[in-house]
Homo-oligomer: A and B are copies of this chain.
Amino acid sequence: MRKGESTRALIVARAAEVFNVQGVGGAAISDIMAATGLKKGGIYNHFASKEELALASFEHATAVLARRFAPVWEEQGVNVVRAFIETFRGYAQRPPLAGGCPVLNAAIDSDDTNPALRARAHAVAEEWQERLAAVLRGSQERGESRPEIDAVALASVIVASLEGALMLTKLSDDPQHLQWAADHLLDYLERAVCC
């Protein structure tokens, strides 16, 4: 790897956390400077603007998320859903990124500004739901799950519950909300699966 690329990777990695904690609008380049140890010139050598850096940083954040969730999609059948829930539960002890779930943050943080960033967050959330829905539908087709359940709806509920619990956990600084949500979803899943 060339010198510049490793520097660029460093910037992106640090900036991803800074942006995730402070928001894109709330973070100044000086914060990125402090986090990376580089000066302004060194940062603007790799990115034309703050927005470009923000986009690359979010891309990095989603890549970190993807790496965390990679084992989830390796599971078989409904175990995918269980692994997804457990992985989310792990956010409490071992967050993939400082500042919480980047999807949640990006959804709220960027209102109208940064439509690109918002689109990326949307894409990640959609991918999660689609994958979960596909697994649930497959389970139904194999007769392992109750057919009257709306797979798409359940996938949405799973993601929503976990993200919402993450928010409550962040707000109250109490990881219990995440545990409750995970337990609730697993419990609900048991009844939906067994037939």
Give the B-binding residues of A (Cβ under 8 A). 21-23, 25-26, 99-100, 103-105, 107-109, 111, 113, 118, 121-122, 125-126, 150, 153-154, 156-157, 159-168, 170-172, 176-177, 180-181, 183-184, 188
A184 touches B105 (CB 8 A): no
A167 touches B160 (CB 8 A): yes
A167 touches B126 (CB 8 A): no
Identical copies in the complex: 4
Q: Which residue of chain B has the shortest Cβ distance to A26 in the bound complex?
A: B25
**B residues less than 8 Å from A99 (CB atoms):** 111
**B residues less than 8 Å from A170 (CB atoms):** 107-108
A177 touches B156 (CB 8 A): yes
Q: A111-B23, A177-B156 are in contact. Are A165 and B164 (CB under 8 A)?
A: yes
B180 touches A157 (CB 8 A): yes
Q: A118-B171, A167-B163 are in contact. Are A26 and B111 (CB under 8 A)?
A: yes
A164's partner among B21, B25, B160 (CB-CB below 8 A) is B160
Contacts A150-B180, A164-B165 known; list 20 others, CB within 8 Å. A23-B26, A100-B108, A103-B171, A105-B108, A108-B109, A109-B109, A122-B171, A125-B171, A126-B172, A153-B183, A153-B184, A154-B180, A157-B165, A157-B184, A160-B161, A160-B164, A160-B180, A161-B161, A161-B164, A161-B181
Q: Is the interface of A mostly helix, strand, loop or mixed?
A: helix
